[in-house]
Amino acid sequence: MTSTSTATTTQPTTTTPDTGKKYKLGDPNGDGLIDSVDASAILKIYARLSTNSTEPTEKESATCDVNHDGLIDSADASKVLAYYAYISANDAIELEAFLSRKK
């Protein structure tokens, strides 16, 4: 018997294996937009995680850790707000492209 392996590429979107649900970075409410509502949701999750001894869900980690530092905190919410302000006054770009411009 011969086995073959195939290479796969990783997309900026995280897919959970059990549901096939795709999560968009910076969009914890899943409405397809990245805006102040998402920044507020990130702060709400940050407050919950800070006051309880719980871990973030896979969805929360995939959507809320915008700066990829392993934490969900006010810095992530701030980046979402900065992005939202930018696209409100300029041409829309993807969040990942915006974040890479700010480094």
CATH number, domain at 54? Answer: 1.10.1330.10
- Give pLDDT tens digits for 39-80: 999 999 999 999 987 899 999 999 999 999 999 999 999 999
Amino acid letter, 25: L
Provide the whole-model pTM.
0.77
Residue 87, domain member (yes or no): yes
Q: Is residue 86 part of a domain?
A: yes
Residues contacting residue 37 through CB under 8 Å, at least 6 positions apart = 29, 31
Instruction: Give Cβ neighbours of residue 85 (< 8 Å, ≥ 6 apart).
Output: none
Cα distance between residue 11 and residue 74, in whole Å: 25
User: Whose CA is closest to 63, among 32, 29, 24, 10?
Assistant: 24
Both structure tokens of 70: 């392993």
- Domain count of the fold of the chain: 1
Provide the domain limits for residue 35.
29-101
